[in-house]
Chains A and B, each alone.
Chain A
Amino acid sequence: MPQLRIVVLVKQVPDTANVTGDAMKEDGTVNRAALPAVFNPEDLNALEEALRLKVRHGARVTVVTMGPPAAVQVLRESLYRGADEVILLTDKAFAGADTLATSYALSLAVRKLGGCDLVLCGRQAIDGDTAQVGPQTAEKLGYPQITCVSRIDELVAPADVAHGAVTATRSIEGGFETLASSLPCLLTITGEANEPRPASVKLVMTYKGIAAEAMPDYDDTYLDPESDAAEVCMLGRDGKPVCRAKVVQWDHLALEADREALGLRGSPTRVKEIESVVLAQSEARMVEADEAGVAALVHELIEEHILG
């Protein structure tokens, strides 16, 4: 029976949730040096869904990120939580990528892995907040997609039904929508889906010092406990042997990418202008906390077409 394959796309982002005074430069762009780099929160939710599916269906979870060499840290964090295989896409050629160029590189990586049954990613990253990379990657792979997923209701592995199927619930304005799709499929996951697990201290001790290795040819035999290339490092909670992972590093050559479609060159998006919006309080009014006060306020809001 072929093992269920799940690819999780993750991103290292500046921690915009804990903004300090010097978080923004004079020109209004993000001062990356002042913000610690963290695992994009909703990508952790996506990883958590993958790891839960792994417990239920025995999947292999592969985590892919594109970023500078320092982005290896999010891959370590993925290993700490139980990912089986991690891929770092790093190359000067990838630098300056917008969502189009990013999704191009990520889709090539998924293809190089031989495709998969399920691609999971966070709904959006907290630095750009575009929510475009997931959908664009699905388009490039030709996979159906379900975005803004708050719950994966059911997954039927490909072995059981010809192509397998997934049912997921997504948040839409004013309610929820439950959709079913054949596999392979890409899902973008929201923060509502779960509370991501903590790092396992055993895996932290195992992988804390791991560095990326350039391995341009995809060869995953080291993940097979039976193979000579494997190094079994412990027994998992399910009692099965855990093979020591590697951080596989690919550049644009390994992806056989069109150089023109990568990085800044492949990114049509341009920042034309940045407007620094300061939300200043212009007027404040105290409303009496009684029937008459509230009624007057509601009346006024309706008058001004703010309500109703």
Chain B
Amino acid sequence: MSNFYTDNPDLQAALRRLDLARVVRLREDDYRQAGEFAYAPRDFEDAVDSYERTLAIVGDIAGEFVEPRAEDVDRAGSELVDGEVCYAPGIAQGLERLKQADLMGITLPRKYGGLNFPISVSVMIVEMVSRADPSLMNIFGLQDIAETVNKFADEDMKATYLPQFASGEVTASMALTEPEAGSDLQNVQLKATQADDGTWRLNGVKRFITNGCGQLSLVLARSEEGTTDARGLSMFLYERDEHMRIRRLEDKLGIHGSPTCELQFDDAPALLVGERRRGLTTYVMSLMNGARLAIAAQAQGIAEAAWRAAAKYARERVQFGAPIGELTAVRAMLADMKVSLEAARALLYETALIVDMKEVLEQRIAQITAPGSAAGEPSAAGPLGGADDLKALRAELKKYTRLAALFTPLAKACCTEMANNVAYESLQVHGGSGYMRDFAVERHSRDARITNIYEGTTQLQVVAAIGGVLGGTLAAQLDEYDAEDFGATPELLERVQRARARLAGAIARVREQDDVRYRDFHARRLVEMAIDVSCGYLMLHAAQDDARKLLAARYFVDAMTARVAAAATQVVAGDPAVLDALSQLGSI
């Protein structure tokens, strides 16, 4: 009996620590939906009970059904037969299972058949499915696309397509990347042309499209002839028909169960989503941010699996007359893995909560400002109590929008790099056996490798985060952390604060230098320090009433402060001349 929720105390604790009361209250219109839908919660306690039950069901499906099929899925991969993609049997069965459990519209509104769960809970679900099989998660996790449709499409489109997502009738893809437009999406060439009757047709090629065989695709296309930049791009919803051909499937290092397609559109009819010209600037950015959080969770799940594999192997493998797990060198590797896993998880769910806040504030403001909306009546006892005035809500939204824009790339960079490190170390613990396909760890290593590449490489996450790190957003959030009560761990707090001071010194140094090249050179170090210091506070926070966590926090802070000191030293006192050497050192 294997249940990926009930066997994971750290994940359960993460749910307990999430301060979701306000998020859920807003999402549930102050629990008014309970009258309308039998499965809507009556109050916060009822909601959390439902989340826990749901997580236990997902944990069971992941542990008992998905994970046992993951090896076969990895071996079988997907196949292209007569222009159609055949999933590995385990993928098709896993999807059917998740569909039967009604998990295909986790965050969608109930009126479209969704569960209306907070994003934080959906991230936990993604983490568990990924621990079992990250390639299944890719297809399952693409339900995120429905969230974008929900946010930006008109009511007709939503009413037509969202129930299909929620019932699991359709799977979907996001068709953004092209041969010449990878990280640089403003270079997208696929053409959208509008006929006289107003209908749109797509022509061109998309590459590296996960689940491009799905019945629905969100396609980024150039709708404005003669443009070359982001503002000439719009978003289209394409429903699979004979006008799109799957030209090939990629042969990949990992996530073999997830088909990566090259698509050719020939006069394919499609529907415009939202407004023209906002495809990349608004919609894809929103889509990407959701997807980045999901990939962070995917990495988190892979890391969990890899650490467990190592811990199990180290306990069972006897050398020199004892399990290798009793050797200090191996013990330290396992502790490093587990503690970095926990620190990343703390940042992941902190980020999820921030994104949840941003989403519900957006929704609430939209409700209030919608013309003729019943929610618009100025209510003294609105869902926010006394604070339910527009000005305060907008100020708060601004804060959470900034935080989400900073923390999403931080979490993505942190979790995906951590997952690669953990998978690497796990394989190392396995020694020669880990290099063989008999053990799952080589699969975890291959699967982890994509996470810090797709949905924006770590290098792009650094670009996305550096503004918030250098500007005031990070500092403001760290101030808030600092104001919390860390009474149980004063000496650890002091160490975290010292690390924060070093980070502040490094930031000040880069700002003083006022040199783009210098900033770009040290950006990665600054972002890593920002991750480390944030995780330090979050680990301390979790340690306040948890003796086991206190040990983990102590271990984390010890290593983290040393890392931050080293990185800060390089930023503050490094040799500026090395910058000039860059171009000569790395090129051929």
| A residues with CB within 8 A of B | 18, 197-206, 208, 231, 233-235, 237, 244
Contact = CB atoms under 8 A, between A and B. Distances in A.
A16 to B, nearest CB: 13
A220 to B, nearest CB: 19
A151 B473 CA distance: 62
B101 interface: yes
A204 B49 contact: no
Contacts of B61: 198
Contacts of A237: 167
A197 B49 CA distance: 22
Given A198-B57, A202-B102, A205-B38, 10 more contacts: A198-B61, A198-B65, A200-B101, A201-B115, A205-B40, A205-B41, A205-B50, A205-B53, A233-B39, A235-B113
A197 B168 CA distance: 15
Given A18-B1, A200-B100, A201-B102, A233 B38 contact: yes
Say what secondary structure dominates the interface of chain A: mixed
7 pairs of A and B residues whose beta carbons are closest in the complex: A233-B38, A205-B39, A206-B38, A200-B102, A198-B101, A202-B102, A201-B54
Given A18-B1, A204-B57, A235-B113, A198 B100 contact: yes
A199 B57 CA distance: 7
B57 A208 contact: no
Contacts of B103: 201
**Most B-side CB within 10 Å, residue of A18, A205, A234:** A205
A18 B40 CA distance: 34
B35 to A, nearest CB: 12
B158 interface: no
A202 B57 contact: no
Contact of B115 (A18, A199, A202): A202
Nearest to A232: B38
Contact of B39 (A18, A198, A199, A234): A234
A200 B38 CA distance: 13
A206 B65 CA distance: 24
A106 B494 CA distance: 69
Contacts of A233: 37-39
Contacts of B167: 237
Contacts of A205: 38-41, 50, 53-54
Contact of A208 (B37, B49, B65): B49
Contacts of B38: 205-206, 231, 233-234, 244
Contacts of B115: 201-202
A242 to B, nearest CB: 8
Contact of A201 (B40, B49, B53, B65): B53
B60 interface: yes
A203 B40 CA distance: 11
Interface in B27-71: 37-41, 49-50, 53-54, 57, 60-61, 65
A55 to B, nearest CB: 11
Contacts of B49: 208
Given A201-B115, A233-B39, A237-B167, A208 B50 contact: yes
A204 B49 CA distance: 11
Interface in B257-272: none
A198 B57 CA distance: 8
A235 B65 CA distance: 27
A225 B118 CA distance: 31
B120 to A, nearest CB: 16
A197 B100 contact: yes
B358 to A, nearest CB: 25
Contacts of B53: 201, 204-205, 208
Contacts of A200: 100-102
Contacts of B65: 198
Contacts of A197: 97, 100-101
User: Interface centre among A199, A201, A204, A244, by most B CB within 10 Å?
Assistant: A201
10 contacts: A200-B100, A200-B101, A200-B102, A203-B102, A205-B38, A205-B39, A206-B38, A206-B39, A208-B50, A208-B53
Nearest to B99: A237
Contacts of A201: 50, 53-54, 57, 101-103, 115
Nearest to A237: B167
A84 to B, nearest CB: 14
A49 to B, nearest CB: 15
B133 to A, nearest CB: 16
A202 B101 CA distance: 8
B39 A202 contact: yes
A157 to B, nearest CB: 24
Contacts of B102: 200-203
A144 to B, nearest CB: 32
Contacts of B97: 197-198
Contacts of B41: 205
A255 B98 CA distance: 40
A206 B50 CA distance: 10
Interface string B202-218: 00000000000000000
Given A233-B38, A234-B37, A234-B39, A198 B60 contact: yes
Nearest to B39: A205
A202 B53 CA distance: 11
A152 to B, nearest CB: 19
Nearest to B105: A202
Contacts of A244: 38
B153 to A, nearest CB: 21
A77 to B, nearest CB: 11
A197 B40 CA distance: 23
A247 B37 CA distance: 20
Interface string B149-169: 000000000000000000100
A11 B217 CA distance: 46
A202 B114 CA distance: 9
A208 B39 CA distance: 10
Contacts of A18: 1
B24 to A, nearest CB: 13
B407 to A, nearest CB: 28
B31 to A, nearest CB: 13
Contacts of A202: 39, 102, 115
Contacts of B54: 201, 204-205
A261 to B, nearest CB: 39
B50 A204 contact: yes
A53 to B, nearest CB: 16
A179 to B, nearest CB: 30
Contacts of A198: 57, 60-61, 65, 97, 100-101
Nearest to B61: A198
A197 to B, nearest CB: 5
A197 B60 CA distance: 12
B220 to A, nearest CB: 32
Contacts of A199: 57, 101
A235 B114 CA distance: 12
Nearest to B169: A237
B15 to A, nearest CB: 15
A240 to B, nearest CB: 13
A206 B57 CA distance: 15
A198 to B, nearest CB: 5
A266 B346 CA distance: 60
A199 B103 CA distance: 11
Contacts of A206: 38-39
